[in-house]
Amino acid sequence: MHIRGAHALVCGAGGFIGGHLVNKLFDEGAATVRAVDVKPRDQWYQENPNAENLVLDLQEKEACLEAAEGIDAVFQLAADMGGMGFIENNKALCMLSVLTNTHMLLAAREHGVQRFFYSSSACVYNGDKQTNPNVVALKEEDAYPALPEDGYGWEKLFSERMCRHFLEDYGMETRVARFHNVYGPLGTWMGGREKAPAAICRKVLEAKISGKHEIEIWGDGHQTRSFMYIDDCTRGVVDIYHSDITEPINLGSSELVTINQLVDVAEDLAGVKLKRNYNLSAPKGVNGRNSDNTKILQYLGWEPSIKLRDGLARTMAWIEQQMLTGVTTTR
């Protein structure tokens, strides 16, 4: 089913990725977009005036039924989540997102939704395969035998299975993408839920502005990750939605860097050199994680187009603008 001319629903539209996705769906020719989030609208990261913007708690089934009425295409991104500091300390809260996914699947089935896209996460992957910074990129089959990130990763893996069984048992067309570390402007950059690229940009800018040329890094800095810019993410979401891929598939960059290298790039962009203080007791997640993009290249010819340095430059410029204009609240 093509998104052009469709009536689309974005769950979690007040969030970082959801807000960008609403804009992307309009660009792709969606007839209407219903944007739903639990947060008050003045706390949404961005709000498209052309969308039908609703505040609903999608953990409640009645709210899901209201959201899905008259909808052809569901994009289910709503979840309680954040960076490593958040998900390691809020496991029960992360697990409760299973209510949103279950109720949205039930509502979509009841209303005859034609296709259901679910945003999973690289946190579903077996932790034993992520103990070495010199990581072998994670293939889709590495999610099993199951040993995902405690709390958040288990919830994502369970919800992937729900999508699979709704496809097998009820014939609902489901698509599942495993996101790998998405970043960019108009996202969380302070307050505890921010991911590593935004946190590093903020810390480097704070050090530059204050003149105190030091930075705290969580862990030893040798942890490895890959980071995908938001525009590549939304393009990948639409491509996967349109595809015939029924199994979960990686959506991420394979450009592997250490956290120290991420700091190197941020320092270079800001024109500063900082003393690095390593907090070995802070949450740092797995030692190594990277996306194997063999399948998505094979199926869709998709790969990220925006290099880390370019994406980080855009992100840092936006965060600096927020800091200089006195933004002191987080979403």
Residues in the chain: 331
Distance from C-alpha of 312 to C-alpha of 185, rounded to nearest angstrom: 9
Catalytic annotation present for 118:
no
Contacts (Cβ under 8 Å, ≥6 apart) of 175:
115, 116, 117, 118, 163, 240, 241, 243, 245, 246
Choose, from 152, 183, 229, 241, the residue flagged as catalytic: 152
Helical residues (DSSP H) of 211-291, grouped into ranges: 230-242, 259-270
Report residue 148 as tokens: 């995902």
Four-residue CA torsion sign, 19, 103, 252, 260: positive
Nearest Cα neighbor of 183 from 278, 13, 306, 23 is 306
Q: Is 106 exposed, middle or buried (0-12, 13-18, 19+ CB in 10 A)?
A: middle
Rounded to an integer, what distance in angstroms lies between the CA atom of residue 320 and that of residue 327? 10
- Tell me the catalytic residues: 152
